[in-house]
């Protein structure tokens, strides 16, 4: 299935949310709406798609889930990831943030990745960013969590990989 035919199969609420997030390219730090790797490197692209889909699709959980899954597939095709984030950066985080980041790395298998060193795979799964965000907010509080989330965004943005084809 091509990415464009998968998009056409989405419910209108999912298409609306995806298009709305792409239209936020400038706010997401990208030069153009066609820079999919840039869009996907910003965790807020996935968060926005998820939050919009859950709200706009209402009780149609299947439509919301399909839109979120489409976003994950879109980003896996965009090609992001080989980590260059340094251990010094991780060491600069508060202990609660280090714990959350390391816990998310340890989830590599449940995230469908071969190892915790496979940043491309980890960052290609929106649940890596969601887990880091949710853990940091719970363990560190929202004020400190923003630094942990920013570290996760930098980790994923610094990763590189050849784009994959669906």
Binding-site annotation: residue ranges: 118
- Angle, alpha carbons 137-47-159 (nearest 5°): 90
Q: Binding site for heme, residues?
A: 118
Q: Are 43 and 30 in contact (CB under 8 A)?
A: no
- Tell me the C-alpha distance between 39 and 27, whole Å: 10
- Tell me the C-alpha distance between 89 and 71, whole Å: 28
- Tell me the C-alpha distance between 95 and 24, whole Å: 33
- Tell me the C-alpha distance between 4 and 58, whole Å: 24
């Amino acid at each position: 299935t091509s990415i464009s035919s998968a998009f056409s199969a989405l419910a209108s609420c999912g298409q609306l949310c995806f298009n709305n997030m792409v239209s936020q390219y400038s706010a997401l730090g990208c030069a153009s709406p066609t820079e999919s790797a840039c869009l996907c490197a910003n965790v807020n692209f996935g968060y926005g798609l998820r939050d919009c889909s859950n709200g706009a699709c209402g009780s149609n959980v299947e439509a919301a889930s399909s839109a979120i899954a489409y976003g994950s597939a879109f980003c896996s095709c965009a090609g992001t990831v080989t980590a260059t984030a340094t251990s010094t950066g991780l060491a600069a985080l508060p202990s609660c943030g280090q714990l959350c980041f390391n816990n998310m790395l340890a989830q590599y298998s449940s995230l469908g990745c071969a190892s915790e060193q496979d940043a491309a795979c980890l960052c290609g799964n929106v649940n890596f960013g969601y887990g880091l965000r949710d853990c940091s907010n719970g363990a560190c509080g929202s004020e400190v969590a923003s630094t942990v989330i920013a570290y996760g965004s930098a980790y994923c943005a610094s990763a590189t990989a050849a784009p994959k084809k669906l």
